[in-house]
Amino acid sequence: MKGPARLAILGCGAITRSEHIPSVIAHPGTQLVALVDVDLSRANGLIQKRALTCKAIADYHELLGRVDAVINALPNHLHAVINQDFLLAGVHVLCEKPLAITAADALASTELAEKKGLVLAVGMNRRFAASHPLLKLVMQEGLLGTVRDYDFQYGGAFDWRSASGFYFDRAKAGGGALVDFGVHMLDSVFDWFGPVSAFDYQDDDWGSGIEANAILDVKHDGHFGEVKGRLQLSRTFTLKNRLFIRGTQANAEISVQDPEVVVLHRTIAGKSVSETLRLEDYPPGNSYLRQLDNFVQSVVNRSKPEVDGWQAVRVMELIESCYAQRKRIPEPWAESKVARNEARA
């Protein structure tokens, strides 16, 4: 490929507006040729607002063969089928998470990319926060001693103003909190602690398939041996919003509010001490720009992206297993005697 990669963005919703367009504008290795949205006014509005020179297109088929790469930021249920259309046409794909709403579809897309020798990268921007590789270093260097367990909480009042509102439709979203931001958390813990050998999953789905709260207990058997973890997610309540890892020598913490650093907690001469670790010489920009750069470099060099389809497949497989074996989070306040009497009436 000579010159910048000709790139199109599919879907002009919230994430495209806030992250993908600024990243593409900032990246010298890309040339934005089109914004695609079934609602052309949305695409045109963005072009006007950001003074872009690209085209607005309603039907993505027009692009097949005319671009080098696409960023797929459409609603979840449109990821797999449209990714596969582009891969079949020889186009590299950076797909927003989740790669598909089923593991089978994620696998099919991944196998197709491999067969065609194309890059299929998955939008796991949190991997590109400096704390992600830094925590790996901290653990590999033994700063925590033996890694024992972790508590990973992410939750707050849901405030994602998606253009389509697909996220409360099971057929379009594939699930609730777990499939929405649980994929980020699972992708990270898989990368840090290795494969999951056992799990126990609970959520508060009352039958719609769109859980607002989820609690997932896991056991990893990876490079650090057995590590137990609890992941807690909420779309309704503010949780601690941090990862806390306990080791025999020290504990480590990554806050959602400052994902560029790792805070190390340890005891020195009986005193509790905290130190903030920061990676020097880490690429500038935010995680989305770094993610885009990794994608572009993978396309140029035909190398494996940081997060490929195979990694997304293992996350989706675990999520499917969780949904298949789910238990209800006990909510005694909702199952009070009043409601019980009603059910008998």
Residue 273 lies near another protein (rule: CB under 8 A): no
Is 237 a binder of another protein (CB under 8 A)?
yes
CB atoms within 10 A of CB 316: 26
CB of 123 to another protein, least distance (A): 20
Q: Is 257 in the site for another protein (CB under 8 A)?
A: no
Dihedral angle of Cα 89, 19, 289, 122, to the nearest 10 degrees: -50
* 326 lies in the binding site for another protein (CB under 8 A): no
Q: Is 249 within 8 Å of 266 (Cβ atoms)?
A: yes
CB-based contacts of 325, cutoff 8 Å, min separation 6 = 201
User: What residues numbered 140-159 form the site for another protein, per CB under 8 A?
Assistant: 155, 157-159
* Cβ proximity to another protein, 205 vs 306, nearer residue: 205
- Using CA atoms in the order 140, 190, 296, 108, what is the torsion angle rounded to 10 degrees? 150
- Name residue 58's amino acid: A
User: What is the smallest separation between the CB atom of 117 and another protein, expressed in angstroms?
Assistant: 40
Any contact of residue 336 with another protein (CB under 8 A)? yes
In the chain, the N- to C-terminal Cα span, in Å, equals: 70
Residue choice 120, 210, 261, 318 for contact with another protein (CB under 8 A): 210
Binding mask 159-178 for another protein (x = CB under 8 A): xxxx--x--x-------x--
Distance from C-alpha of 305 to C-alpha of 241, rounded to nearest angstrom: 28
The residue among 311, 136, 152, 305 whose CA lies nearest residue 223 is 136
Residue 41 interacts with another protein (CB under 8 A): yes or no: no
β-sheet bridge partners, residue 226: 221
Q: By CB under 8 A, how many residues form the interface with another protein? A: 37
339 touches another protein by CB under 8 A: yes
Interface with another protein (CB under 8 A): 155, 157-162, 165, 168, 176, 204-208, 210-212, 235-240, 329, 331-334, 336-339, 341-343, 345
